[in-house]
Amino acid sequence: MTQTRSGKSDQSLQSQRPQLIVHAGTHKTASTYIQERLHRNRDLLSSQGISLQDPLECKPKPKKLAAELCKRRSKRWKAFFMQQPEGQHCLLSAEQFAVPLTDPQCIRQLEALADAAGYELHIVIFIRSQLDYINSRYIYSLRRFYHHQNFKQFVEDALQGKLQNEKPTRGKIKRRQDVFDFWNYFQPLLKAKAKGLKVSFLPFRQGGVDPFEQFIRTINLSTALPWKACPQKHYNRSPGTRGVWLARVLSQLLRENGISPKSIGNSSQIILNEERQRRWNDPSFWGYSRKLTKKVMRHFEANNARFAQAAWNCNWDDAFSTSNPATQRRRTAYAPPSIEAEVRMHAVAQRLLNLIKRQQAAGHFSPLKRLIRMMLRR
């Protein structure tokens, strides 16, 4: 039985049926940090009656269960439920669940699977304001070399419901591109919520309340419990202003040389490692001009109002009232201060390109890969 901050017992999780709690991200809302803290506190969770399906220790992994939904399959789900301790709530955390939860059939399938196993389904999803979310997705996709767009081009595509390097399908479901328009993107989940499904949309407040504490309170556990902290290294670090500029140049070089970003091992760390080696300690990238900020806010204003009423029964601004005022942030981006500086930065990008080419050549001619290619040719 859980304890509230006041020390009184909280009966909220002591319902007639145990809950299947699914934390579904979304992307860029501190999911890695939340998952690491859940992992570090799995024994404490168990003492509170919650069994964590820890991806580091348990199979099937949560992201595999998400993929199972997309494929309209249930074999792994049945195996998962068979493993669960009787009478305990189950907790799954994977941002990959966000995609199937935009599909009505997947939602019904998950509800039916939970119900058949004797669980009440509870979906938990963080929502990040579009200004932060688009800026973060730009950095995320650029550091993985998915494109070489400038920020304004990326925003224009985002407003039209386009995402760089996103596959059109996942399993048997169509992958939605309008991820920033929450009213449309989560319409199937909002309709299921209106019919009685337990869904908690949590406003992700950049620079505000700890998202782990938000999550813990949402599943009716006390933040006063002795939760183990998480080292800073488990926060997903993003490149600074020079790193973002360098990533865009390198991404263009990769495309010109016909190198797919998916063929590059550990691609997301290349720019971060370069920053560390060069001891760059730059400010965070923020790509918006005042004009672009206003354009994005106007674009989503009406649907944000609809979403906030459906999800929280309040205004959008009220839900994000403790956030840092993103609307007041000034553009922070790198521009080489001189021709010499730009030449040096291009030389860094060229060096990284050559390093990637050497690594790929070494991998291409490794004995194991040569043997596999020979067997495939037979």
* Domain map (residue ranges) of the chain: 15-129+166-234, 241-283+336-377
Radius of gyration of the chain (CA): 23
Indicate the pLDDT class of residue 12, thresholds 50, 70 and 90: very low
Of the candidates 223, 214, 236, 235, which has an alpha carbon nearest to the alpha carbon of residue 323?
Answer: 214
pLDDT at residue 39 tops 50: yes
Q: What is the mean pLDDT of the chain?
A: 88
Comparing 162-171, 187-196, 353-362, the range with the smallest average pLDDT is: 162-171
Indicate the pLDDT class of residue 364, thresholds 50, 70 and 90: low
CA–CA distance, 211 with 192 (Å, rounded to integer): 25
Burial of residue 9 (CB within 10 Å: 0-12, 13-18, 19+) is exposed
Look up residue 315 and give its two tokens: 């205004």
Look up residue 31 and give its two tokens: 């999911």
What was the pLDDT predicted at 3?
Answer: 37
What was the pLDDT predicted at 233?
Answer: 55
pLDDT at residue 270 tops 90: yes
Look up residue 297 and give its two tokens: 């806010």
pLDDT at residue 205 tops 60: yes
CA–CA distance, 225 with 44 (Å, rounded to integer): 9
pLDDT at residue 177 tops 90: no
Q: Under CATH, what is the fold of the domain 15-129+166-234?
A: Rossmann fold (3.40.50)
pLDDT at residue 136 tops 50: yes
Phi, psi for 34 (deg, rounded to 5): -60, -45
Report the interhelical angle of 290-312 vs 187-194 (nearest 10°): 30
pLDDT higher for 338 or 262? 338
What was the pLDDT predicted at 324?
Answer: 52
pLDDT higher for 87 or 320? 87
**To which H or E segment does residue 9 belong?**
strand 9-10
120-128 vs 198-204, strand pairing mode = parallel
Structure-token match 């859940």, residue found: 38
CA–CA distance, 37 with 42 (Å, rounded to integer): 8
Q: What residues does 22 pair with on adjacent strands?
A: 92, 123
CA–CA distance, 74 with 109 (Å, rounded to integer): 9
| pLDDT tens-digit map of 43-64 | 999 999 999 999 888 899 999 9
Comparing 72-76, 95-99, 138-142, 176-180, the range with the smallest average pLDDT is: 176-180
Of the candidates 308, 318, 27, 23, which has an alpha carbon nearest to the alpha carbon of residue 183?
Answer: 308
What was the pLDDT predicted at 16?
Answer: 77
What was the pLDDT predicted at 200?
Answer: 97
**For the whole model, what pTM was predicted?**
0.87
- The percent of residues above 70 in pLDDT, for the chain, comes to 88
CB atoms within 10 A of CB 23: 26
Residues in the chain: 378
What was the pLDDT predicted at 126?
Answer: 96
